[in-house]
Structure 1
Amino acid sequence: MTALRRTVRLRGAPMRPLDLNVMCDQCNRSRAHGNHTKCSKLRQAEAVERRLPNN
């Protein structure tokens, strides 16, 4: 069956694996398990604070 599987190609070349973190940077738990809505909101709030101009 593996001979029938197509490989994903990006601009004619095989696509490399994505470089994503497995662990959540906020709660240090696996991103594949549980709800990370709170973590996402905290991450967004930190990004807003970083973008504010320093006075």
Structure 2
Amino acid sequence: MTALRRTVRLRSAPMRPLDLNVMCDQCNKSRAHGNHTKCSKLRQAEAVERRSQNN
């Protein structure tokens, strides 16, 4: 089955796998299961707070 897949190429070289976290940093559950909109809102609020402290 894998022989049928096309390889993704970026600038004529095979693309490396994405470096993404599998587990949510807010609720410590798998990102593939469930709804993480609350986690996303918390993450966005933390980023706004960090930016306001830097300025």
TM-based fold match above 0.5: yes
Consecutive aligned runs of 4 or more in structure 1 exceeding 3 Å deviation: 1-4
Give the aligned partner of residue 53 of structure 1.
Answer: 53
Q: Which has the higher helix share?
A: 2
Question: Which structure has the larger Rg over C-alpha atoms?
Answer: 1
Q: Which runs of 5+ in 2 are unaligned?
A: none
Equivalenced residue count is: 55
Q: TM-score, normalised by structure 1?
A: 0.87
Decide whether aligned partners of structure 1 residues 47 and 5 sit closer, same or farther in structure 2, where only a CA change above 3 A counts: same
Q: TM-score, normalised by structure 2?
A: 0.87
Following superposition of structure 1 onto structure 2, how do residues 33-44 of structure 1 map, counting pairs within 5 Å? Answer: 33-44=33-44
Q: Which runs of 5+ in 1 are unaligned?
A: none
